Structure 1
Amino acid sequence: MLVVIANDLPPAVRGRMKLWFIEPKPNVFISGVKDNVARKVVAYLYKHCPADSGVMVFRRIPETPGYDISGIGDTKRNLTEISGLQLVIEKQNSLCDS
């Protein structure tokens, strides 16, 4: 399985992604492609997406923990690793007191 979340994809890349993926929300792509095809798609993204695309890729892998997270450019989210487990850090909104 492969999940791709982008801030902004070039039109040609987005059109190509629609061949292999469903797009439940703009610039969010999900597909059950085989591992070999997933590697080719990720290589395609790295080759054709500029840094301002802000792409985050979640890819299933056969090793523990079962997934790999990678990014291209500023994804507006930070990745961290704790005890070998990759995690996405969400920015917290501060609440204003009334």
Structure 2
Amino acid sequence: MASMIVIATTAVPDHVRGALTRWLVEPKAGVYVGTVSARVRDELWTAVAACIADGAAVCIHPADTEQGFQIHTAGERRRHVLDFDGLQLIALQPQQTPEPP
């Protein structure tokens, strides 16, 4: 059964953006939305995560969880997903301050 997904990207290579627009619409730069099967969703996410380079991406899709959705991330991000007994929460890493000379 097809379900809606949202993938948001930052600073990813152009070929990743092109691959995403084959299956999803891009209503805003770097944000992709669409309705695809679980198999297509998993294949898209595998391709995005493998080619992320210095960028970052997050995928949100419906799931049979208490929250009703699942979050996947790839790349270096300040926000990290933490799982507390099936409840996904976001933790912010503190910004690194440069050391004085």
Q: Please state which structure has a larger fraction of its residues in helix.
A: 1
Alignment TM-score, normalising by the size of structure 2: 0.73
C-alpha distance in 2, partners of 1:76/1:18? 26
* 3-state DSSP of counterpart to 1:32: strand
RMSD: 1.9
Q: How many residues align?
A: 89
- Which one has the bigger strand percentage? 2
| In 2, Cα distance between equivalents of 1:74 and 1:49 | 10
Structure 1 pair 28–89 and aligned structure 2 pair: CA distance change class (3 A): farther
Scaled by the length of structure 1, the TM-score of the pair is 0.75
Instruction: Extract unaligned runs of 5+ from structure 1.
Output: 92-98
Q: CA deviation at 1:46?
A: 1.8
Asked if 1:3 corresponds to 2:6, the answer is yes
In structure 2, distance between residues paired with 1:78 and 1:49: 16
Identity percentage of aligned residues: 26
User: Could you say which residue in structure 1 is the equivalent of 2:58?
Assistant: 56
Q: 1:12 aligns with which of 11, 15, 39?
A: 15
List alignment gaps of at least 5 residues for structure 2. Answer: 94-101
Letter of the structure 1 residue corresponding to residue 65 of structure 2: T
